[in-house]
Structure 1
Amino acid sequence: MFILCAPGVWAEDYFDPAALELSSPQQKTADLRYFATAGGQLPGTYPVSIWVNGQQASTGNITFVDAGGKLKPVLTTAQLAEYGVNVSAFSAFNRLREGETFTRIEQYIPDASSQFDFSTQRLNLSIPQAAMNVQSRGYVDPARWDEGIPAAFVDYTLSGSQTQQSTNNGHSTFLNLRSGVNLGPWRLRNMSSMQYDTTRRWNTLSTYLQRDITVLKSQLRMGDTYTSGEIFDSVQFRGVQLMSNDDMLPDSQRGFAPVIRGVAHSNAKVTLSQHGYVIYETYVAPGAFAIKDLYPTAQSGDLQITVKESDGSERTFTQPFSSVPFMLREGRLKYSLSAGRYHSGQDQSRSPAFVQSTLFYGLPAEFTLYGGTQLAEDYHAAALGVGHSLGELGSLGADLTLAGTTSPSGKRYSGHSLRAQYQKSFAQLGTSFSLASYRYSSSGFYDLSEATMLESRYGLADTKRSREEISLRQALGAVGNLSLSAYSQDYWHSQRSDKTLHAGFYSAWKGISWGLGYYYTQSSGHSDHDRSWSFNINIPLSGALADTSVSYTTASDNRGYASHQVAMYGSVPKNPNLYYSVQQGYASQGQGSNSAASLDYRGGYGEAQVGYRHDRDSNQLTWGASGSIVAHPHGITLGQSLGDNFAIVRAPGAANVAIQNGSNLHTDWRGYAVVPTLTPYRKNVITLDTESMTSDTDVDQFGATVIPGGGAVVEANYQTHIGNRVLFTLHDGQGLVPFGASAQLADDHTASTGMVADGGKVYLSGIPAEGNLEVRWDDDSVAHRCTLHFRIADSQNTAVKNVDGSCLSQRGL
């Protein structure tokens, strides 16, 4: 009997540094053991993107150390927690003090590993799924929400006109300001306007202070604001409000989506489709499964669920899906609390103190229960309702509101209002249908704003009796789309009513778009009605005018009025930020011809417009400008019109660098810029355009990830290297500096590091005209260092400068 024993073996790519044949025979070779294995590099700090289990988790500078010939990242438990790792489940981390670092992740989490891909500057962490926190898709850890930097800003819109008429001349100027101050988690906001024509009027529209309440996924606001309008009609008030903020939730937990339940007979792939598009895929284990993290989809449209077993067999079933707007997922709670003093634009109406509360809760079986209360001086109301998905029959929501009112003279009124909402989609027919009906059962029902008008100078003439709304959308394939919407409202003790109807057809073919519209309007207080028709067509041009379109619009009504308008508009060739428009038209009933022209410049610091209009009776010159001014810890920066969240790009010295996150965005002369719009509570990547950088500008990384909290002004920092791009040829006392040595500007730890190549050459960027270069290498376990003092000749005007210098090496340093 023979027994053969085969020892275990390990194979990997390896390169023998002794095999290097340098073109300079006198040049020695430094210790290159770091490069002997595939992907090997010098230890140091590198700007990297961090990926966990194939998903990008973060970006930043990570320090790498040598561990057995491979680079291992220096990490902390806080970083792992940021990446979604459940560090509390592993006792090995308890031995680490707060802030203490480690390098071998596999010693703390079994079966975990790290791998650094130097060519793509990507750190790949492989973590067992059981070690990860169970989070919904799209989840961003609230600990990463950035409160932002201290800042103050003004967002402005200015418009004006000068009009010349046959009888008189006039002018008008309007300024709208939205200003704010951010300090820590607090945001102070103000809306004001100024109008100047024959008189000058200044109006303060609203002022409020707000902040996020992260633990409640809510927002607190104090000052001038509005109540939520989901149950009761929205009203303006001055007071305090605390309400759920859906923006804080992962995308897969917002809105309503059904729970998909089924059974898998093996390890299976489950695919969900809607309207012919795959919207979700996942893998499930044998047995019953439930999918609870669908992203919000269209409010109706059947879901096709396909279960593909491991043997290749497939089963498909359909789950009808429809929802009304206020429906929530199972287990989701949404609330709002408001208290303050009612505010109306009518001077003669009352301004009572009031309290309002609303609550929505997602129940099993696709039910949503909701209700609310309003309590005020001489007024109270309570509402209760339910929403439910009826499967193939669509979805239905209904609620009942009871209200009681006491007028200033002591009269008491009471009544109730019944509201119903219905939604249904016929996916195979491409039809979407919705209906909402409000019915006021008695003349004694008043909402809060109506109650404050009782017995005032602007008292209500009649109370609302019923209101119906309907909308229908029909897709006609390649032919186009048809839409229909209608609205009707009538009143108690009156024959008057309000009615509107709109029908439209829209189509497109090879870039040409056109549409037909019909409008019907009947207003209370008017015995007659208005009917009008419209047609428009838009044709894009090609060739030298590829950025230009021409359009034709005509409209007419039942009173004999008709108009025709031809326009050409687009961007100026070779200047895509300058837009123009010229129009020529004609109107009946004695109005005659009219014409107009305008220019619109959309720059990095805002937008400016100028225009001219002419018709039979007048000539008018118009102008406008919009933009923003932001003060922050590093100075003042001009920008475009701002959203609720924005970023300050900080790339010191990198002037006039384009930013890819908007139209015509670029840094100013100092290297700062405003990115005007960000998505709160989500990862936003702000990217610099490398092709727009000058030859003396380099940055460590071109993309910065920011995650702003609500209303935050965040900072996107870039480590810049401003200076010359230089190819050094380095010598020491024994000839050329060894191959593989590292070189870096002395006394500048933020400067990039280069590796000496064949011929003693090393390329570095961000180099000043004069300075010191520090070179290090190891030889036979002895450390060497030499410092080169250099000065770049003024006569060199090439993109890459050349410097040839010598220094004396020092052993053992």
Structure 2
Amino acid sequence: MMVRRLSRSIYLSTFLTGFFSLTSAQADEGTPDESASTEMVEFSDAFLMGDAGSQLDLKRFSRGNPVLAGTYNVKVFLNGKEMFKTPLTFHENNTDYASACFTHALLEQLSVDPEPLNQEDEDGCYDLATTLPKSSSRYDPLTQELNVTIPQVYLVSHPAGYIPPSRWDSGIPMALLSYNANAWHSKSDNTTQDTFYSGLMLGLNLGAWRLRSNGAYNWDNDNGGEYSSYDLFIARDIVPLRAKLEAGEVRTNANMMDSVSLDGVHLYNDAQMDPSANSYVPVIRGVANSNAKVTVRQEGRIVTQITVPPGPFAISDYYAAQNGSDLDVTVEESDGSTRVFSMPYASIAHLLRPGEVDWDIGIGTVDKDTVDETLWAGVATASYGLSNMFTAYGGVQMADNLYTAGMLGVAMNTSIGAFSFDVTHSQTTADDVGTLKGQSYSLNYSKNFTATGTTFSVVGYRFSSENYMSMNDALSLKNTLNNYASDKNTTTQEAYHAYTRTRNEIQANVYQDVTINGESYGSFYLNGTWRSYWGDDGNTSQYSVGYSNSVGSVSYSISAQRSYDEFGEEDDSINLGFSIPLGSGSSVDYRPFSSMSVNSSSDFKGNDSVSAMATGSSRDNMYNYSLNTTSSRNKDSEDLTTIGSWVTRNGAYSTTSLSATQGLNGDQQYSLSTTGGVVLHSGGLTLASGYLTPDSTMALVHASGAKGASASMGNGQIDGFGNMVVTSLSPYRENTVGLNIDTMENDVAISNTTGVVVPTSGALVRVDIETDARKAFMLELMRDDGGFIPLAADVQDSAGSSVGTVGQAGIAFVRGMDDSGTLSVIWGSGAESRCQVSYQLDGNASMIGKTPLISGLRCRMSSTSVKVTP
């Protein structure tokens, strides 16, 4: 037996050496170098040991590895540059080599000018060399790479990352429910507070149409519960305009003039359809002294509410519906104390590439939450890239007979930075006040100084004259005057002059890398906002400065904040933090806790706190957890020491967090948070993990029988119905959606674990992963006459269907069989090139991974029955 297996190994090594020496010869089609594509290599069967070798037909390998007809997931290169990965069909062409089918859509993906394209063949394919002279393609089946060469004269220039609209996928019909819930309980000083918040988003997709509605349910133990619904609208892409149409409760964009809430129609060009577009929401940063509840509001409406552990926090996973409106952040500690601060929401924009247009149009009635009566309003803004240096922009706003405004501006891209300057003129007609005319002037600056590592992200100044009104100011003033009309002790003029609106505003955001002689010494930032007002002598301002660095593996940071309200009341805070790694957290050097942090904060008014926290995660990273303790000194109450914990489960179908805090004085805090979604589609209900917004773009991965396989990106997992929802796809971009089969529960064959999709915004695109869930075996085969069974011999069942192939060392992999039966092994023509083997699976079979191996099977070379010894 030892000699026989050794001989088999030598035979296999010799065969594989001769076989794979041919792999450098690749399947070509239409290549300019015809000698390379037609050169034949004759393979001598003398390399094959044993009589069976002479029975193998190797002619199809004479020009390298043959390409069989079928569809393959191919990586495409154009003129040496990697372009994309796509399913590509190879069809028969009356030779041993199938050829790639170049469809109109594929050539469009390759940015081929459609003008020279002639008629396709009966399969809808173009002959590349005939259609585009001097063009060629070369396919390597080993790497599954298609290298296409096309002269530049036939190509159309596009920005980097451009995806033709023909590849955009609007997705499948679906209904969606997304939730973001937080339950909170706290008890301190004999006062108990119980609250519950759930943000809900409902959605429906049908073709290119999207229906969305946001809502929120708020409950507390004092006021009970209330559900409010808002932002109910339908939307769809207008592809020729690269635009989006929305109808219902909509908001105009705020990149130039005030965003206005309308019950009407909103049409605007969608920057996501541009390869260079980026979405933006500000990161909300702060410091929690204990397990704290953080509530973010925009115009009084809760945007998100989460519970955070002690120490610095940063929140970016939220949906802010109205760019331009500040975010109000409330941090409520476990002892009931609260802190409130505002986060400006603005960015310098306007600069466009030459010839590019950005526009926005909205018309409808003003939302009743804004004004008490029906008012028709219209908004139109536009910007145009004049040159590499200048962009012109402007807009108009109108609201019945109440308000009219026009704005003109210019943005400049210079060697010392980007500037924008604009002037807005407004005219407001107010009851018993008359016509108010005023102007507002704005100057903004942004620059990244690479040499010094300094970034001025936004430095801006705005001045508004006394009678200037933005549209939102005018609408708010109208409500104010209507309310004062019922007050006999206040005149309308007095009410107008008491109405508060911005007079001066200065913003600055500066970031600085500290590098000396090429060595980094950390970084610091400086942010500030200052405002003065008409109708109020007071000013408001807030400033923050911070520095961070590391020494060895220990990192530290220090930050300070100061703010003044309209009454001149000062609020200060300073925070010092350290973070110390305790281990790598890897499976090789696993430690339950991977880091420890210490934070100290003070407001210089007798309120100080020190907290320490250890954080860690499970080996599979499904659970993240922490233990913390906080000691605080309060000038108006007793000192307090608390012990708390936090755990988050990053599940396949939801993300859930629990927190608890216990004070030595009896104070308590508990919270439960969860986020996720439910998607209804033609295949049933599928749960989704993570926070979903109205624009969330997703993929429905279907892999029948592959239960337990996880997403290569995100936390999704194939459920018992073979479905999984993958979130956080990028709209109008290529997304590779794949499976990690290491976590798969069943022995399922998967021919290709990835799919490439280009979804539109808000779409649910379907990705079908081809699987074979039939039972699989590995059979160790030996001929009963002592001969060898050749590599790649075909294994067939009693019906003559191919069920597997013989691999190295006589090991056959078969699938789709019963627990017992008889198989035929065929490697040529004639009785001398086939044998039969009987098998039976029992409990003694060894396992190779999840596949049983039946050893010692003899394959009969004659019709004589041979008893099989398993």
Cα deviation, residue 801, structure 1: 4.3
> Secondary structure of 1:130's partner?
helix
Residues in 1 aligned to 2:115 and 2:777: alpha-carbon distance in whole angstroms: 49
Give 2:405's aligned residue: 381
CA distance 1:482–1:805, shift in 2 (3 Å): same
Q: Does structure 1 conserve the Cα–Cα contact (< 8 Å) formed by 2:606 and 2:633?
A: no
Give 1:220's aligned residue: 245
> Secondary structure of 2:200's partner?
strand
> Secondary structure of 1:457's partner?
helix
Cα deviation code 1:513-558 (max 9, x no counterpart):
222222221111x243223322222222126537522222222224
Write out aligned runs for 1:246-395 (5 A). Answer: 246-251=271-276, 324-343=348-367, 345=369, 349-350=372-373, 352-377=375-400, 378-392=402-416, 394-395=417-418
Question: Which of these residues, 458, 469, 488, is aligned with residue 507 of structure 2?
Answer: 469
Q: Does structure 1 conserve the Cα–Cα contact (< 8 Å) formed by 2:136 and 2:150?
A: yes
Cα deviation code 1:626-659 (max 9, x no counterpart):
2111111111111202441011111011110122
1:408 counterpart letter in structure 2: D
Question: Which of these residues, 695, 708, 719, is aligned with residue 668 of structure 1?
Answer: 719
Give 1:127's aligned residue: 150
Query: Taking structure 1 as the reference length, what is the TM-score of the superposition?
Result: 0.80
Write out aligned runs for 1:569-608 (5 A). Answer: 569-572=615-618, 576-589=622-635, 590-595=637-642, 596-608=644-656
Write out aligned runs for 1:600-639 (5 A). Answer: 600-615=648-663, 616=665, 618-639=667-688
Cα deviation, residue 244, structure 1: 1.1
Question: Which of these residues, 562, 573, 580, is aligned with residue 608 of structure 2?
Answer: 562
Cα deviation, residue 74, structure 1: 4.1
**How many residues in Structure 1 have an aligned counterpart in Structure 2?**
719
Q: Does structure 2 conserve the Cα–Cα contact (< 8 Å) formed by 1:731 and 1:760?
A: no
1:247 counterpart letter in structure 2: Q
Residues in 2 aligned to 1:436 and 1:499: alpha-carbon distance in whole angstroms: 14
Cα deviation code 1:81-114 (max 9, x no counterpart):
3443335414xx32635x5346x63344333333
Residues in 2 aligned to 1:475 and 1:632: alpha-carbon distance in whole angstroms: 49
Give 1:3's aligned residue: none
Pair 1:763-2:804 in alignment: no
Write out aligned runs for 1:398-797 (5 A). Answer: 398-409=421-432, 411-433=434-456, 434-441=458-465, 443-454=466-477, 455-457=481-483, 461-477=499-515, 478-524=520-566, 526-542=567-583, 544-545=590-591, 547-572=593-618, 576-589=622-635, 590-595=637-642, 596-615=644-663, 616=665, 618-643=667-692, 644-662=696-714, 664-693=715-744, 696-727=747-778, 762-765=812-815, 769=819, 793-795=841-843, 796=845
Q: Does structure 1 conserve the Cα–Cα contact (< 8 Å) formed by 2:592 and 2:617?
A: no
Cα deviation, residue 170, structure 1: 4.2
1:249 counterpart letter in structure 2: D
CA distance 1:132–1:804, shift in 2 (3 Å): farther
- After the TM superposition, which of the residue ranges 350-359 and 736-745 deviates more from structure 2? 736-745
> Secondary structure of 2:742's partner?
helix
- After the TM superposition, which of the residue ranges 506-515 and 414-423 deviates more from structure 2? 506-515
> Secondary structure of 2:119's partner?
helix
> Secondary structure of 1:89's partner?
coil
Residues in 2 aligned to 1:689 and 1:421: alpha-carbon distance in whole angstroms: 48
Q: Does structure 2 conserve the Cα–Cα contact (< 8 Å) formed by 1:379 and 1:403?
A: yes
> Secondary structure of 1:146's partner?
coil
2:655 counterpart letter in structure 1: E
1:499 counterpart letter in structure 2: S
CA distance 1:785–1:580, shift in 2 (3 Å): farther
Q: Does structure 2 conserve the Cα–Cα contact (< 8 Å) formed by 1:430 and 1:474?
A: yes
Pair 1:65-2:113 in alignment: no
Write out aligned runs for 1:42-53 (5 A). Answer: 43-53=69-79
Cα deviation code 1:263-292 (max 9, x no counterpart):
xxxxxxxxxxxxxxxxxxxxxxxxxxxxxx
Query: Taking structure 2 as the reference length, what is the TM-score of the superposition?
Result: 0.75
1:373 counterpart letter in structure 2: V
Residues in 1 aligned to 2:89 and 2:823: alpha-carbon distance in whole angstroms: 24
Pair 1:235-2:279 in alignment: no
Cα deviation, residue 791, structure 1: 7.4
Pair 1:202-2:202 in alignment: no
Give 2:111's aligned residue: 84
Q: Does structure 1 conserve the Cα–Cα contact (< 8 Å) formed by 2:109 and 2:163?
A: no
CA distance 1:679–1:532, shift in 2 (3 Å): same
Cα deviation, residue 193, structure 1: 1.3
Q: Does structure 2 conserve the Cα–Cα contact (< 8 Å) formed by 1:681 and 1:709?
A: yes
Cα deviation code 1:604-627 (max 9, x no counterpart):
111122221234463222212221
Q: Does structure 1 conserve the Cα–Cα contact (< 8 Å) formed by 2:139 and 2:147?
A: yes
> Secondary structure of 1:495's partner?
strand
Q: Does structure 1 conserve the Cα–Cα contact (< 8 Å) formed by 2:613 and 2:626?
A: no
Cα deviation code 1:547-599 (max 9, x no counterpart):
52222222222423222222222214565524233232222323412322222
> Secondary structure of 1:479's partner?
strand
CA distance 1:163–1:449, shift in 2 (3 Å): same
CA distance 1:191–1:731, shift in 2 (3 Å): farther
> Secondary structure of 2:351's partner?
coil
1:667 counterpart letter in structure 2: I
% same residue? 24
Residues in 2 aligned to 1:754 and 1:468: alpha-carbon distance in whole angstroms: 73
Give 1:283's aligned residue: none
Cα deviation code 1:337-369 (max 9, x no counterpart):
0112222646x6555220000000001251000
Cα deviation, residue 173, structure 1: 1.9
Give 1:34's aligned residue: 60
Residues in 2 aligned to 1:355 and 1:238: alpha-carbon distance in whole angstroms: 11
Q: Does structure 1 conserve the Cα–Cα contact (< 8 Å) formed by 2:820 and 2:841?
A: no
2:651 counterpart letter in structure 1: G
Residues in 2 aligned to 1:613 and 1:738: alpha-carbon distance in whole angstroms: 69
Residues in 1 aligned to 2:684 and 2:820: alpha-carbon distance in whole angstroms: 29
Q: CA RMSD in A?
A: 3.7
- After the TM superposition, which of the residue ranges 170-179 and 756-765 deviates more from structure 2? 756-765
Residues in 1 aligned to 2:200 and 2:805: alpha-carbon distance in whole angstroms: 54
Residues in 2 aligned to 1:551 and 1:159: alpha-carbon distance in whole angstroms: 26
Q: Does structure 1 conserve the Cα–Cα contact (< 8 Å) formed by 2:178 and 2:691?
A: yes
CA distance 1:397–1:758, shift in 2 (3 Å): closer
Cα deviation, residue 417, structure 1: 0.7
Cα deviation, residue 710, structure 1: 1.2
Give 2:45's aligned residue: 18
2:381 counterpart letter in structure 1: T
Cα deviation code 1:213-252 (max 9, x no counterpart):
111111111122322111112232222111111110123x
Q: Does structure 2 conserve the Cα–Cα contact (< 8 Å) formed by 1:419 and 1:439?
A: yes
Cα deviation, residue 775, structure 1: 8.5
Residues in 1 aligned to 2:156 and 2:800: alpha-carbon distance in whole angstroms: 40
Cα deviation code 1:732-784 (max 9, x no counterpart):
9xx999876656789999x9x855568987534465657998989886xx9x9
Cα deviation code 1:62-85 (max 9, x no counterpart):
235366554423443443334433
